[in-house]
């Protein structure tokens, strides 16, 4: 579904991603892990077309999407969320979700239609809000939501595009431990409901990584150190010691 | 004592996402009252004040457009007087050289002029935000200003061009009546109401919501599939159209066009008015235009250094009351209600 | 040949003045990230105060040939308004750029009228004082020595700024501040004091520019507002925040102005803005944009 072939990304002399090859199939939940500076966010930005790779290619559903830009990718059915909360601070929850529904339906350029009387957009937004447990906060300005809900809204607005694949950059960072699991549960349920085929996430919390992923990709200094199922990664001594910071699981 | 949670739940009750609620009827009543008052002004005010108020309509229309850029799209233009200038000079040329006498084609053709200028300027400028957008629009405004000033054979330089009084609606001309304080006044009022309604429609449309997304976070907007340049460009075009209309009626109100209409300080004053009234409110810019004109008249009659006073007022607004007069009114109203 | 040299020299003279004002703009923008529309007003203040101070000094019987230093002193003395205006700007350092721009516009409005209140609308000049240093003949062109002094002074200041930024501890702090404000704070630098110093330095650069220009022209009430648009062209061509950009931008604008005045005056400003727009289309951040020194 999403193929990255030998992707490099340099910033001047600094090499952020040094040849990553990655195949994501339909139905996978993939976690990208690695220490700070391993190139995780850069890789996500390249995969979502925000950055043009210095070398290499990214293919999605048969299109070469290297540096295609997020707008094009959103149209192709790829969405993303951001590491730092990215909401429209002055817009209410309802408005944020309406805006996302509008772009999905290609109605953003309607100049003289009344937004309030567009029932389809409205119901769409309400549906997404209820999936994410935000239905009681529709009138609240996004900027005034508590941190956990801001994160949820960021993800929810990406889900409102009904994408086929979604890339989540640290969906639970900056959120209390109890909220983390709530967010992840919500996310998994919502993705089934919406019909999202693949999820790629960058995540630091290893409980979440091992609890939810089908597959784990470990990045280190811009390269793929290991790529496998949680069970395989658990036994990989190098990854467990250097990246995850735990003793590898030893079982016969 | 209200805790943050109380306040948020409170605001959901009063302000449903539709914008429906008790507040809306009150606002509607106030707006209607305002229109009625404006319509009655020529009956009660002296001619001096009515003539003084004439530019109010022009500025209000221009500011409705400017605030689509500033308040709703988050782009600050320091060159918006460019479009007022283009509209005003288009009208002046069409009358002087084209012999055109009718207001409606004058407006349409001048708006066309504004659009023709706005397309290349906009295509370039919307690639920038913040200071760069402000400065680039300033550059284009100054480019036009220096054209007006220096190409004497076409524009008559700093002497400007006299503007006649065009025929309104195909039959109202200047014979036997006080054109400016009579028919033209109501013509402008009507135009302002219509253009405000159209702008209201725009800001409450899907397009308007999308613009606010672009304003709040353009990276996030792009990730939702919103082509931010395209939206900024259309907002720019619409604001230029409003500027063009404003230019025509300003030219007729003043009876004269001259290059200072497009000077960068004129653009600065437009932003000033927007801020004075309140850029976070739909009607704020209109309130700002009225307040600016009245205040300028009052201060100037008392002291010749009106810019010193205005500079101080602007500084105070920027520092202490960034949502302007409308913001202060809303705050005051909330205190009264509570 | 004489014509060419004369154009070369007068272009260099306007570039020298423009550089001083633009350097003030860049210094403040580089460190404080505020585009200060009021530099034009500082320039005008420098011109009015410079003319007044020199005329007074000459009237008091001070030796006329020292007037060049009188102008420099006038510019430096005006540095006292720096801390006052910086204090006014302080509440908006963390606010949106639009508000910062507007506050400096408010300062433009106020300074315009304050200048008018003090000096009135009558033009002021120092008469033919600038000819006291005589003229030199350069390859057939007659150039006032005063103009050469101004060019030399601007050149010295440019080199001085360059050395300050690259060789001194203070310069390192400035460059660090331009990159990341938080970083400087974590280095233990008192940003509040740093901003006062930087802003006052910026004021002095602009006021010296205004003071030095006055002997060859006369003050006009509009001179500040007009200069800001030229200084703006300089920094946009050169790249916001870059000192090298200020130098190159000043040369470009100085020569474009001089050439058009010599060959086809109506297009003077038009050409400047065309250059601005062309530069922005080709290099959106200006020729030296993104540099901090």
The Cα angle at residue A159 between residues A156 and A165, in degrees rounded to 5:
140
Residue in chain A nearest B197 by alpha carbon: A112
- Does residue C1 have a pLDDT over 70? no
Both tokens assigned to B82 = 């460019």
Cβ atoms within 10 Å, residue B260: 15
Q: What is the mean pLDDT of residues C88-93?
A: 90
| pLDDT band, very low/low/confident/very high, at B60 (cuts 50, 70, 90) | very high
> Smallest Cβ distance to A140: which of B12, B223, B231?
B12
Summarised one tens digit per residue, pLDDT across range C253-272 is 999 989 988 888 778 778 88
A154 touches chain B (CB under 8 A): yes
- Does residue A86 have a pLDDT over 70? yes
| pLDDT band, very low/low/confident/very high, at B10 (cuts 50, 70, 90) | very low
* CA nearest neighbour of B285 among B52, B68, B42, B26: B68
Tell me, what's the pLDDT at C45? 93
Q: Is B138 in Cβ contact with C92 (below 8 Å)?
A: no
Q: Is B212 in Cβ contact with A108 (below 8 Å)?
A: no
Summarised one tens digit per residue, pLDDT across range A5-15 is 888 888 877 88
Q: Is B220 in Cβ contact with A69 (below 8 Å)?
A: no
Burial of C121 (0-12, 13-18, 19+ CB in 10 A): exposed
**C-alpha dihedral (A92, B76, C99, B81), degrees to nearest 10:** -140
Tell me, what's the pLDDT at B98? 82
Summarised one tens digit per residue, pLDDT across range C133-192 is 888 888 888 888 888 999 999 999 999 998 988 888 888 888 887 777 666 666 677 788
- Does residue C232 have a pLDDT over 50? yes
Tell me, what's the pLDDT at A249? 65
Q: Chain B partners of C114 at a C-beta cutoff of 8 Å?
A: 308
Q: Is C101 in Cβ contact with B76 (below 8 Å)?
A: yes
Q: Is B128 in Cβ contact with C103 (below 8 Å)?
A: no
Q: Give the DSSP per-residue string, chain C.
A: -HHHHHHHHHHHHHHHHHHHHHHHHHHHHHHH----TTHHHHHHHHHHHHHHHHHHHHHTT--GGGHHHHHHHHHHHGGGHHHHHHHHHGGGTTS-HHHHHHHHHHHHHHHHHHHHHHH-SS----TTGGGGG-EEEETTEEEEHHHHHHHHHHHHHHHHHHHHHHHSHHHHHHHHHHH-HHHHHHTT--HHHHHHHHHHHHHHHHHHHHHHHGGGS---TTHHHHHHHHHHHHHHHH-TT-HHHHHHHHHHHHHHHHHHHHH-GGGHHHHHHHHHHHHHHHSTT-TTTT---
Phi–psi pair at B24, nearest 5 degrees: -65, -40
Question: Do the beta carbons of residue A193 and residue A131 sit within 8 Å?
Answer: yes
Both tokens assigned to B27 = 């606002």
Q: Is C109 in Cβ contact with B314 (below 8 Å)?
A: yes
Task: Classify residue B21 as left (phi > 0), alpha (psi -120 to 50) or beta.
Answer: left
Burial B299-327 (b: 16+ CB within 10 A, else e): beeeeebbbbbbbebbbebbbebbbbbbb
The answer to whether C and A touch (≥3 CB pairs < 8 Å) is no
- Does residue B182 have a pLDDT over 70? yes
Residue in chain A nearest B72 by alpha carbon: A90
Tell me, what's the pLDDT at C182? 66
CA distance B225 to chain A (A): 4
Element (H, E) at B174: none
CA distance B230 to chain A (A): 9
Distance CA A164, CA B229 (A): 26
Q: What is the mean pLDDT of residues B83-90?
A: 94
Per DSSP, B167 falls in state: B
Tell me, what's the pLDDT at B209? 92
- Does residue B231 have a pLDDT over 70? yes
Q: What is the mean pLDDT of residues A94-112?
A: 87
**Could you say which residues from 6 to 35 on chain A have a Cβ atom under 8 Å away from some Cβ of chain B?**
none
A90 touches chain B (CB under 8 A): yes
Cβ atoms within 10 Å, residue A14: 9
3-state DSSP assignment of residue B303: coil
Length of chain A (residues):
252
pTM listed for this prediction: 0.86
Q: Is B318 in Cβ contact with C103 (below 8 Å)?
A: yes
- As a whole number, the mean pLDDT across chain C is 86
Which one is predicted more confidently, B160 or C248?
Answer: C248
CA distance A72 to chain B (A): 7
The answer to whether B and C touch (≥3 CB pairs < 8 Å) is yes
Can you give the residue ranges of every domain in chain B? 55-264
Q: Chain A partners of B207 at a C-beta cutoff of 8 Å?
A: 108-111
- Which range is least confidently modeled, B209-218, C174-183, C219-228? C174-183
Question: Do the beta carbons of residue A152 and residue A91 sit within 8 Å?
Answer: no
- Does residue A245 have a pLDDT over 80? no
Both tokens assigned to C82 = 């720096």
CA distance B202 to chain C (A): 23
Tell me, what's the pLDDT at C234? 92
Tell me, what's the pLDDT at B57? 93
A67 touches chain B (CB under 8 A): no
A92 touches chain B (CB under 8 A): yes
3-state DSSP assignment of residue A200: strand
Tell me, what's the pLDDT at C183? 67
Residue in chain B nearest A138 by alpha carbon: B17
- Does residue A73 have a pLDDT over 70? yes
Q: Is B17 in Cβ contact with A139 (below 8 Å)?
A: yes
Question: Do the beta carbons of residue A4 and residue A47 sit within 8 Å?
Answer: yes
A162 touches chain B (CB under 8 A): no
| pLDDT band, very low/low/confident/very high, at B338 (cuts 50, 70, 90) | low
In chain A, beta strands by DSSP E: 2-11, 14-24, 29-33, 55-60, 63-64, 78-81, 165-169, 198-202, 215-220, 223-228
Per DSSP, B18 falls in state: T
The Cα angle at residue A62 between residues A57 and A66, in degrees rounded to 5:
25
Q: Which of B264, B272, B288 to mutate to test the interface with C (most CBs of C within 10 A)?
A: B264
Q: Is C229 in Cβ contact with B138 (below 8 Å)?
A: yes
Tell me, what's the pLDDT at B18? 41
3-state DSSP assignment of residue A189: helix
- Does residue A209 have a pLDDT over 70? yes
Q: Is B152 in Cβ contact with C236 (below 8 Å)?
A: no
Residue in chain A nearest B211 by alpha carbon: A108
Q: Is B130 in Cβ contact with C97 (below 8 Å)?
A: yes
Q: Is B202 in Cβ contact with A88 (below 8 Å)?
A: no
A69 touches chain B (CB under 8 A): yes
Summarised one tens digit per residue, pLDDT across range C16-55 is 999 999 999 999 998 888 889 899 999 999 999 998 998 8
Q: What is the mean pLDDT of residues C104-123?
A: 89
- Does residue C278 have a pLDDT over 80? yes
Q: Is A79 in Cβ contact with B209 (below 8 Å)?
A: no
Q: Is B131 in Cβ contact with C97 (below 8 Å)?
A: yes
Whole-angstrom Cα Rg for chain B? 20
| pLDDT band, very low/low/confident/very high, at B22 (cuts 50, 70, 90) | low
- As a whole number, the mean pLDDT across chain B is 85
Reported ipTM: 0.86
Tell me, what's the pLDDT at B5? 33
Residue in chain B nearest A76 by alpha carbon: B225
A94 touches chain B (CB under 8 A): yes
Summarised one tens digit per residue, pLDDT across range B119-170 is 999 998 888 888 888 888 888 898 888 888 888 888 887 888 888 888 788 6
Distance CA B15, CA B20 (A): 7
Tell me, what's the pLDDT at C58? 84
Q: Is B135 in Cβ contact with C110 (below 8 Å)?
A: no
3-state DSSP assignment of residue B90: helix
Q: What is the mean pLDDT of residues B213-237?
A: 91
Chains sharing 3 or more CB pairs under 8 A with chain C: B
Q: Which of A44, A69, A70, A160 to mutate to test the interface with B (most CBs of B within 10 A)?
A: A70
- Does residue B294 have a pLDDT over 60? yes
Interface of B with A (CB under 8 A): 4, 8, 11-12, 15-19, 198, 201-202, 204-210, 212-213, 215-217, 219-227, 230-231, 234
Q: Do the bridges between strand A198-202 and strand A165-169 make them parallel or antiparallel, or are there none, so unpaired? A: parallel
Question: Do the beta carbons of residue A167 and residue A80 sit within 8 Å?
Answer: yes
- Does residue A170 have a pLDDT over 90? no
Question: Do the beta carbons of residue A38 and residue A225 sit within 8 Å?
Answer: no
Most confident of A159-168, A220-229, A242-251, B35-44: A159-168
Tell me, what's the pLDDT at B194? 95
Tell me, what's the pLDDT at C201? 93
- Does residue C128 have a pLDDT over 80? no
Distance CA A168, CA A252 (A): 35
Both tokens assigned to C229 = 């648009």
Q: Chain B partners of C233 at a C-beta cutoff of 8 Å?
A: 139
Tell me, what's the pLDDT at C136? 84
Tell me, what's the pLDDT at B6? 32
């Amino acid at each position: 579904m999403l193929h990255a072939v030998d992707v490099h990304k340099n910033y001047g002399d600094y090499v952020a991603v040094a040849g990553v090859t990655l195949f994501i199939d339909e139905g996978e939940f993939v976690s990208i892990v690695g220490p700070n500076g391993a190139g995780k966010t850069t890789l996500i930005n390249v995969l979502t077309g925000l950055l043009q790779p210095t070398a290499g290619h990214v293919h999605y559903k048969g299109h070469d999407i290297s540096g295609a830009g997020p707008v094009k990718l959103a149209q192709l059915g790829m969405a993303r969320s951001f590491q730092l909360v990215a909401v429209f601070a002055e817009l209410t929850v309802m408005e944020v979700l309406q805006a996302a529904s509008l772009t999905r339906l290609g109605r953003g350029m309607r100049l003289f239609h009344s937004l309030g009387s567009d029932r389809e957009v409205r119901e769409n937004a309400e549906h997404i809000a209820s999936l994410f447990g935000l239905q009681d906060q529709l009138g609240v300005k996004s900027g005034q939501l508590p941190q956990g809900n801001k994160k949820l809204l960021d993800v929810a607005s990406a889900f409102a595009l009904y994408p086929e694949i979604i890339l989540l950059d640290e969906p639970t960072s900056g959120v209390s431990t109890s909220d983390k699991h709530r967010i992840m549960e919500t996310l998994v349920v919502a993705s089934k409901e919406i019909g999202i085929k693949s999820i790629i996430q960058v995540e630091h919390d290893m409980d979440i990584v091992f609890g939810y992923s089908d597959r784990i990709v470990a990045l280190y200094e811009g390269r793929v150190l290991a790529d496998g199922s949680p069970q395989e990664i658990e036994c990989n001594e190098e990854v467990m010691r250097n990246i995850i910071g735990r003793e590898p699981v030893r079982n016969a | 004592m209200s805790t943050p949670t109380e306040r948020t739940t409170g605001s959901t009750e009063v302000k449903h996402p539709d914008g429906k609620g008790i507040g809306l009827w009150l606002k509607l009543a106030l707006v209607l009252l305002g229109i009625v008052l404006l319509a009655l002004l020529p009956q009660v005010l002296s001619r001096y004040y009515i003539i003084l108020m004439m530019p109010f309509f022009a500025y209000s229309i221009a500011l409705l457009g400017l605030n689509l850029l500033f308040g709703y799209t988050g782009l600050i233009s320091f060159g918006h007087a460019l479009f007022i200038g283009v509209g005003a000079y288009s009208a002046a040329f069409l009358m002087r050289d084209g012999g055109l006498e009718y207001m409606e084609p004058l407006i349409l053709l001048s708006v066309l002029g504004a659009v023709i200028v706005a397309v290349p300027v906009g295509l370039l400028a919307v690639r920038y935000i913040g200071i760069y957008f402000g400065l680039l629009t300033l550059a284009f405004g100054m480019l036009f200003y220096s054209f007006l000033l220096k190409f004497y054979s076409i524009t008559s330089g700093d002497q400007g061009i006299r503007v006649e009084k065009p025929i309104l609606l195909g039959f109202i001309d200047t014979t036997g009546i006080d054109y400016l304080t009579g028919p033209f006044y109501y013509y402008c009022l009507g135009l302002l109401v219509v253009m405000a309604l159209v702008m209201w429609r725009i800001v409450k449309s899907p397009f308007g919501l999308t613009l606010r997304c672009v304003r709040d976070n353009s990276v996030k907007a792009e990730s939702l599939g919103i082509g931010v340049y395209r939206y900024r460009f259309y907002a720019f075009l619409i604001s230029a159209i409003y500027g063009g209309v404003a230019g025509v009626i300003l030219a007729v109100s003043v009876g004269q066009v001259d290059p200072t209409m497009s000077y960068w300080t004129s653009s600065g004053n437009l932003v000033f008015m927007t801020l004075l009234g309140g850029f976070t409110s739909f009607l704020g810019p209109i309130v700002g235009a009225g307040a600016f004109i009245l205040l300028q008249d009052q201060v100037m009659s008392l002291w010749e250094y009106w810019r010193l006073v205005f500079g101080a007022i602007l500084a105070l607004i920027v520092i202490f009351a960034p949502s302007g007069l409308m913001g202060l009114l809303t705050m005051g109203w909330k205190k009264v209600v509570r | 040949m004489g014509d060419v040299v004369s154009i070369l020299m007068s272009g260099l003279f306007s570039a020298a003045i423009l550089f001083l004002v633009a350097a003030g703009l860049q210094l403040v923008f580089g460190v404080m990230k505020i585009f200060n529309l009021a530099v034009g007003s500082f320039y005008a203040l420098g011109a009015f105060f410079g003319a007044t101070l020199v005329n007074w000094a000459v009237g008091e019987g001070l030796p006329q040939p020292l007037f060049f230093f009188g102008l420099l002193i006038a510019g430096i003395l005006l540095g006292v308004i720096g801390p006052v205006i910086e204090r006014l700007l302080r509440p908006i350092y963390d606010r949106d750029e639009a508000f910062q721009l507007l506050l400096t516009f408010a300062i433009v409005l106020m300074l315009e009228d304050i200048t008018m209140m003090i000096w009135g609308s009558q033009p002021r000049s120092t008469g033919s004082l600038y000819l006291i240093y005589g003229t030199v003949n350069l390859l057939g062109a007659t150039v006032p020595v005063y103009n050469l002094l101004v060019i030399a002074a601007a050149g010295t200041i440019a080199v001085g700024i360059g050395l300050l930024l690259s060789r001194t501890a203070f310069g390192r702090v400035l460059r660090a501040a331009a990159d990341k404000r938080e970083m400087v704070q974590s280095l233990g630098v008192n940003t509040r004091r740093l901003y006062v110093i930087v802003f006052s330095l910026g004021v002095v650069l602009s006021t010296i520019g205004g003071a030095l220009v006055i002997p060859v022209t006369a003050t006009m009430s509009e001179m500040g507002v007009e200069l800001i648009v030229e200084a703006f062209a300089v920094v946009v061509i050169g790249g916001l925040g870059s000192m090298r950009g200020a130098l190159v931008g000043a040369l470009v604008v100085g020569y474009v102005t001089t050439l058009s005045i010599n060959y086809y005056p109506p297009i003077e400003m038009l050409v400047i803005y065309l250059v601005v727009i062309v530069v922005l289309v080709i290099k959106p951040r200006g020729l030296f944009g993104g540099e901090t020194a």
